[in-house]
């Protein structure tokens, strides 16, 4: 009996040693991730931002393109326009083109999302991660299910957007610094592809094409203004850059008329616009030329204000850029930092 008890004690001791070793390894891994989460932006990126007069804590805008497997990081310049800082390759994403609909479909979502401070995951088992906020209010209103959709490291994905560990450290630092500087959230807009006319034509037969209308609108607006599109929800649909105030309740009725806001005007010009037409609600909008069922010509620079009904978004036709909408004013077309 004594030798059996001795062997049992040895087995218990060995098991305890294994548990302790495993716990130590897990703690070491957690500490490594915590250190990674605190890494500053690489000095080369910080230097490039300084050269463009962009502070590291400036607001961030992220775009993801599924077909191209690319993630872009844009940052605000002093003039309010955003410049492309860097384009990162996405290792993996889930499913095919089109929105995520149900939990377990292995699809990566498409749409308009936001990263909040609560969404940062410095202790992720995929090195580092942040939650993009799927499902948003519209997804839930449309019956879409699923959760914990992340941008993370480790290059493995089932519905998330997986990056290399090196790149997630950089992307995480961009997001962390902007949130720590006081930004309440970081917009992250996920597109099926770069929504050029050629690509839209190439995918015209895709069954998801009806879900891409607001994404195409946001893509086109940003190409013209270099300002992240303002996204609202009503009538169980997205509303992009609405002139009439639109909230974020997908169950709310849409306003009877929805205009198109492109770029903000000065406070003085805003007051003149509201005086000319109270429907503008002091939003201070400046609109690109547009075609709609009816329009109204502004006394300011002859701008055309397009109004669509609550059920329809006015079709738009970009006008020629003004002098202050040159590439230099809008922001860099090429990334400031090469990958």
Partners of 294 in the beta sheet? 307
Q: Which of the 8 DSSP states describes residue 81?
A: -
Out of 91, 127, 152, 254, the active site residue is 152
Distance (Å, rounded) from C-alpha 145 to C-alpha 143?
A: 6
**Which residue, chain included where needed, has tokens 């034509």?**
201
Can you state the percent helix, strand and coil of the chain, rounding each to 5? 35, 20, 45
Question: Which DSSP symbol is given to 117?
Answer: G
Residue (of 83, 86, 25, 97) closest to 54 by Cα position: 83
- DSSP SS3 for 234: strand
Structure tokens at 302: 């002859």
Query: Which of 91, 127, 160, 254 is flagged as catalytic?
Result: 160
Closest alpha carbon to 317 in 304, 298, 308, 330: 304
Residue 160 annotated to the active site: yes
CA dist 326 and 330 (Å) reads 6
3-state secondary structure of 276: helix
Residue 75 CA to residue 60 CA, distance in Å, equals 5
> What single string gives the DSSP state of each residue in 124-168?
-TTSSEEE---S-HHHHHTT------EEESTT--SSSEE--HHHH
Q: Phi-psi bin for 220: left (phi > 0), alpha (psi -120 to 50), beta?
A: alpha
Give the Å distances, CA to CA, from 334 to 84, 86, 97, 327, 328: 7, 9, 26, 10, 11
Catalytically annotated residues: 152, 160
């Amino acid at each position: 009996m004594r030798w059996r008890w001795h062997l049992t004690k040895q087995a218990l001791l060995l098991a305890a040693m294994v548990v302790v070793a495993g716990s130590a390894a897990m703690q070491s891994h957690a500490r490594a991730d915590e250190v990674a989460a605190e890494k500053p932006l690489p000095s080369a990126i910080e230097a490039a931002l300084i050269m463009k007069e962009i502070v590291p804590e400036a607001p961030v805008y992220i775009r993801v393109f599924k077909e191209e497997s690319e993630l872009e990081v844009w940052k605000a310049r002093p003039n309010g326009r955003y410049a492309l800082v860097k384009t990162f390759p996405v290792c993996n994403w889930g499913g095919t083109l089109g929105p995520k609909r149900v939990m377990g479909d292995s699809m990566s979502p498409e749409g308009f999302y936001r990263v909040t401070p609560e969404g940062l995951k410095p202790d992720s088992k995929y090195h580092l991660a942040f939650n993009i906020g799927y499902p948003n209010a519209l997804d839930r209103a449309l019956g879409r299910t699923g959760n914990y959709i992340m941008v993370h490291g480790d290059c493995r994905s089932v519905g998330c957007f997986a990056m290399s560990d090196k790149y997630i450290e950089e992307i995480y630092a961009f997001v962390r610094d902007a949130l720590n500087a006081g930004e309440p959230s970081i917009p992250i807009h996920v597109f099926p592809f770069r929504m050029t006319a050629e690509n839209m034509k190439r995918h015209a037969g895709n069954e998801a094409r009806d879900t891409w209308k607001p994404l195409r609108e946001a893509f086109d607006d940003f190409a013209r203004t270099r300002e992240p599109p303002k996204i609202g929800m009503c009538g169980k649909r997205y509303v992009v850059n609405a002139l009439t105030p639109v909230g974020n309740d997908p169950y709310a009725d849409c306003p009877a008329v929805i205009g198109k806001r492109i770029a903000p005007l000065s406070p003085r010009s805003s007051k003149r616009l509201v005086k000319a037409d109270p429907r503008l609600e002091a939003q201070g909008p400046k609109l690109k030329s547009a075609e709609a069922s009816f329009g109204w010509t502004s006394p300011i620079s002859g701008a055309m204000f397009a109004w669509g009904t609550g059920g329809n978004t006015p079709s738009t036709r970009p006008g020629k850029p003004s002098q202050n909408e040159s590439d230099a004013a809008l922001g860099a077309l090429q990334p400031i930092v090469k990958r």
